[in-house]
Chain A
């Protein structure tokens, strides 16, 4: 375990991560793992994260060493697409039983690898560690080494048992596993000055293929995408790329940075979500390749392609503009990618509510990220009534969010579009954005909403009317009783990670004359967890005149 814990420390100490660099030495030691609250947590574990990160490698056998829960409850549930082998969709697990727990599961693991090699003959086997075998001390690294030697085939240990931390940590540990054991172990049959890696892209719904034709046209070769639609050999050869793009998400930053360090492959952070972003990413790829020796005419061709594709995309979105102008979109997301769709929404005439963003400049994007939070859990805790209230107050026409919140939105009879991992539509590149606008249009103007909102013939009132009445009564009570309103405002939980209420933050601001988010965080710890609430704290600071208690001493001061 000591090697695992040092690995985790190493991953936490990520110089490529701006957020990490902003922390003090002490905070950095603690890592980016916030302490989970028992009874109040949601989200996957480190094993889940590791599996998600590597599973899209299509021709590898992914073997989960653990009890049935880890694989049996979760296999074949990702929407990555493969252009070749489908072996990655086959669920392999050692399904350890009571006897294994008592006597150790290493033998079963070794035999499992043997069976897989004999039956499926994959180019490599990836072995995922889970909590129970980690507890009983199964040394998967030793087993993998022995099996690799015996069967003459790479057997890669992925040491990321669930209880070491959240999904995000698992992504990074998976990255470490392929850095240590896969990348640079084979040589490509040929190289070109146009070879790139795309890092942190999983080819969900086949999205990568919305962008690949553009690269093909420019003569740019994706030497390896880590890990969407990748083959084992691609990953093993990926160290020969000339440049790399890290798809906007910090989940695999360690791979991008360490490949730069070890193999001199420069990388940039970019995104293929949104029209402007796609163009920027293409330019950036061309620029890096030219820097590394590709002919300069690549840029001209790239600009020509961008001009053509942008014009096409805008022309395709134009017909929707009329219908969509003025429609309000409430964007709530647990995914870091999603903020980049804001530009497209705005450009098709829609208004994004819940944020104060007007233009999609770089700073604005940062701000959206801040407002949405890196990992917004708030929606998971919402009751339909609260959701209804929120949608009503925002006067939203449609909600875009990810994952489980969909059922709450649907029960509130609110049009909803999935923009997270489990979605079925591909939204990448120019064609993807057009697709997104099309989907929003489809969702918004579906006649079903009119139907489902109708009251049943025997119903005196709909629940919406009852909810409206309840909300109105609540508002009236608050208006009549400023003390109650104040108490309710102060009771709002601002920082969920550190359990800080608004009252505590207000008091600290007044008592210590705090003026910055950092100062508030230092005093109250609010915002020191996932940092998703820092935008809200900034809002409290900005709006101080709205809530500062009217000081009774004021008239006296004026008199003086």
Chain B
């Protein structure tokens, strides 16, 4: 339905996009006892680190190979080796997740080759897994880096299973996209467990970056999915993927282990969640628990109460493709119109979005298109634009650095959708202007007999 266009500007103004390597690093942060490592200059790491610290308000494990100018030109074998040895000695992780950056990709460092050499030279490191993902900064965007990394995890960490393997009837794999928050994951876990099923979540940010006070002390990631759990994902009975970006990972898992998958391109909205609940009921053979039936009913009521405020509203959204798809689909269902849509990277979903045009662009583009809209929806960097446009602003996505609780923003499930209706509906209500005697006065230039003319008599 939508025409997908690319910005023709040379200069990106007020970026919406974030780079691929930090999407990759975030995926690694959903593994237990992991140390994410950037192969690049120290600034590449420091920017990503600061961004996540400000978003999650947590200490973030992220290291760098600290490439200097000279090392960059000569190649980074020594730096990668030294970084791995240092991390192995200091933080003693079970896995080191390595992502490349623009610097090392421009040089063309063969990190796969390096790792082979390092493995040969250091048998003492055999107990540490090394997963490498190529993520140049000058290509693709945040969600691509996340998706590629999860695919690599599946390829390298999941154990193949024999064809006649006995699957665990209770185990269900869950592959969430980069837009799924720790709060969303908690909600999905609750739903899956309500049917007596056990979710195996890859990557699992709900245990690592959900903002909690840990019982124990570790310099690597806290919480997250363990390597043993990942290895055993081939023995689950089914895989649920959330977001189109996860199709390659779900496909790779099916190809490797034969576990079939169901992909939900979104889990915000009534119909989308009906699909999930039906699947879970089918998989478990259990009836839908009363708790969930009540949640559905509450959502339906919220939609009825809320639609008054959503109907006819014009929405401007800036988000990565899967989040854009989720939000625009849901707004459409609530009777609002997506008047401006800007995104960061390619996706098969873009042309199916219910709007005229989807632009791969920046927040300057979004701001220009949002003139006359009733709501701006994007990450925290939209704050300046919303102020200039003087319209309400709903923050969603990474980074969200000027509000508390980014990790717990929950928009999936019946409950998450219900709360989203309340939050955004309340924004509309709060921004409604009190009428004054002048509100409905005719503009003077129309020549109508307005109040002023009458007053003159």
**Is this pair of chains taken from one and the same complex?**
yes
Chain A residues close to B by CB (< 8 Å): 35-48, 63, 66-77, 86, 89-98, 100-101, 108-109, 111-116, 119, 131-132, 135-136, 161-166, 381, 383-386, 404, 407-408, 411, 413, 452, 463
- Identify which of A112, A135, A166 contacts B72 (C-beta below 8 A): A135
Complexed CA–CA distance, A77 and B10 (Å): 23
For the complex, give the distance between the alpha carbons of A101 and B57 in Å: 35
Shortest CB-to-CB span from A85 to chain B, Å, is: 13
Minimal Cβ-Cβ distance residue in A for B35: A39
Chain B CB within 10 A, most for which of A100, A114, A411: A411
- Chain B positions within 8 Å of A77 at CB level: 50-51, 54, 401
In the bound complex, how far is the Cα of B9 from the Cα of A94, in angstroms? 9
Stretch with Cβ within 8 A of A (4 or more), from B58-66, B281-289, B307-315, B328-336: B58-66
B11 touches A116 (CB 8 A): yes
Contact with A along B148-190 (1 / 0, CB 8 A): 0000000000000000000000000000000000000000000
List the one stretch of B100-108, B258-266, B294-302, B414-422 in contact with chain A.
B100-108
Least Cβ distance of A91 to chain B in Å?
A: 5
* A69, A161, A404, A463 pick with most chain B CB within 10 angstroms: A69
Residue contacts A-B, CB under 8 angstroms, 26 given: A37-B66, A39-B83, A40-B63, A68-B141, A69-B19, A69-B21, A69-B22, A69-B44, A71-B12, A73-B51, A75-B15, A77-B54, A77-B401, A90-B13, A93-B11, A95-B15, A96-B138, A101-B102, A101-B106, A111-B10, A116-B11, A131-B41, A132-B103, A135-B73, A383-B219, A386-B217
Number of A-B contacts (CB under 8 A): 214
Asked whether B431 is an interface residue with its Cβ less than 8 Å from the other chain, the reply is no
Contact between chains at B218 and A42 (CB < 8 Å) = no
Closest to B16 in A: A72
B residues 15-52 near A (Cβ < 8 Å) are 15, 17-19, 21-22, 37, 40-51
Is there an interface contact between A100 and B138, defined as CB atoms closer than 8 Å? Answer: yes
Which of A37, A112, A115, A136 meets B106, CB within 8 Å?
A: A136
B19 surroundings in chain A (CB, below 8 A): 67-69, 72-73
- CB interface residues, B 397-414, toward A, < 8 Å: 401
Residue of B nearest to A162 (CB): B43
> Pick the contact of A97 from B18, B64, B139, B381 — CB < 8 Å?
B139
State whether A39 touches B85 (Cβ < 8 A): yes
Q: How far is the CA of A101 from the CA of B401 in the complex (A)?
A: 31
Q: How far is the CB of B401 from chain A (nearest CB, A)?
A: 7
Flag if B12 contacts A463 (CB, 8 Å): no
Whether B101 contacts A69 by the Cβ 8 Å rule is yes
A92→B446 CA distance, assembly (Å): 42
Q: Is A38 a contact partner of B11 (Cβ separation < 8 A)?
A: no
B15→A91 contact, CB < 8 A: yes
Query: Which among B14, B138, B216 has the greatest number of chain A C-beta atoms within 10 A?
Result: B138
Cβ contacts under 8 Å, B45 to chain A = 41
Q: Which of B357-380 contact A (CB under 8 A)?
A: none
Instruction: Please tell me if B243 contacts chain A, counting CB pairs below 8 Å.
Output: no
Known: A41-B64, A101-B138. A162 touches B41 (CB 8 A): yes
New contact pairs (7) apart from A39-B63, A68-B19, A75-B14, CB-CB < 8 Å: A37-B86, A67-B137, A69-B22, A72-B17, A76-B384, A77-B401, A164-B69
Residue among B41, B43, B103 with the highest chain A CB neighbour number at 10 A: B43
Max count, chain B CB within 10 A of own CB: residue among A39, A381, A463: A39
CA separation between A336 and B215, bound complex, in Å? 34
With a cutoff of 8 Å between Cβ atoms, the chain A residues found around residue B87 in the complex are 39
Pick the residue among A41, A63, A68, A135 that contacts B103 (CB under 8 A): A135
**In whole angstroms, how far apart are the Cα atoms of A108 and B138 in the complex?**
14
Q: Which 10 A-B pairs have the closest CB atoms?
A: A45-B43, A39-B83, A39-B86, A112-B11, A111-B10, A38-B83, A69-B19, A67-B137, A162-B43, A36-B66
Report whether B217 and A73 are in contact in the complex, using a CB–CB cutoff of 8 Å.
Answer: no
The docked-state distance in angstroms from the alpha carbon of A66 to that of B48 is 16
Interface residue count on the B side (C-beta < 8 Å): 69
A547 to B150, CA, bound (A): 52
B207 within 8 A of A: no
Chain B residue at minimum C-beta to C-beta distance from A33 = B68
Give the residues in chain A near B381, CB-CB below 8 Å: 75-76, 91
Of the candidates A41, A166, A411, the one whose C-beta lies within 8 Å of that of B213 is A411
A63–chain B nearest beta-carbon distance, Å: 7
A44-B42, A89-B384, A163-B72 known; A67 vs B138 contact (CB < 8 Å): yes
Asked whether, in the complex, the Cβ of A48 is within 8 Å of the Cβ of B43, the reply is yes
Interface check B396, CB cutoff 8 A: no
Task: Please tell me if B426 contacts chain A, counting CB pairs below 8 Å.
Answer: no
* Interface pair B217/A385, CB less than 8 Å apart: yes
**When the two chains form their complex, are residues B15 and A48 in contact, meaning their CB atoms are under 8 A apart?**
no
Residues of A near B138 (CB, < 8 A) are: 67-68, 96-98, 100-101, 132
In the complex, how many angstroms separate the beta carbon of B212 from the nearest chain A beta carbon? 9
Which A residue sits closest to B85, measured CB to CB? A39
Q: Among residues 72 to 122 in chain B, which have CB atoms less than 8 Å away from a CB atom of chain A? A: 72-73, 79-80, 82-87, 90, 101-103, 106-107
Considering the chains assembled together, what is the distance between the CA atoms of A68 and B360 in angstroms?
Answer: 14
Cβ of B136 under 8 Å from chain A = yes
* In the assembled complex, B323 has its CB within 8 A of some CB on chain A: no
A98's partner among B9, B18, B64, B136 (CB-CB below 8 A) is B136
B131 within 8 A of A: no
The answer to whether B82 and A135 touch across the interface, beta carbons within 8 angstroms, is: no
Inter-subunit contact B72/A93 (CB<8 Å): no
Chain A residues near B136: list those with CB within 8 A: 67, 98
A73, A76, A135, A162 — most chain B CB neighbours (10 Å)? A73
Query: Complex formed: what's the CA distance from A522 to B127 in Å?
Result: 39
Contact A45 B53 (CB under 8 A): no
Residue of B67, B68, B82, B102 touching A66 (CB-CB under 8 A): B102
- Cα distance A31–B401 in the bound complex, in angstroms: 36
Question: Which of B37, B47, B103 is close to A73, meaning CB atoms less than 8 Å apart?
Answer: B47
Asked whether B214 is an interface residue with its Cβ less than 8 Å from the other chain, the reply is yes
Q: How far is the CB of A475 from chain B (nearest CB, A)?
A: 18
Candidates A41, A68, A131, A163; contact of B15 at CB < 8 Å: A68
Report yes or no: B65 in contact with A39, Cβ–Cβ below 8 A.
yes
In the assembled complex, the CB of B16 is this many whole angstroms from the nearest CB of chain A, namely 8
Give chain A residues whose Cβ lies under 8 Å from the Cβ of B51. Answer: 73-74, 77
Chain B residues within an 8 Å CB radius of A162? 41-44, 103
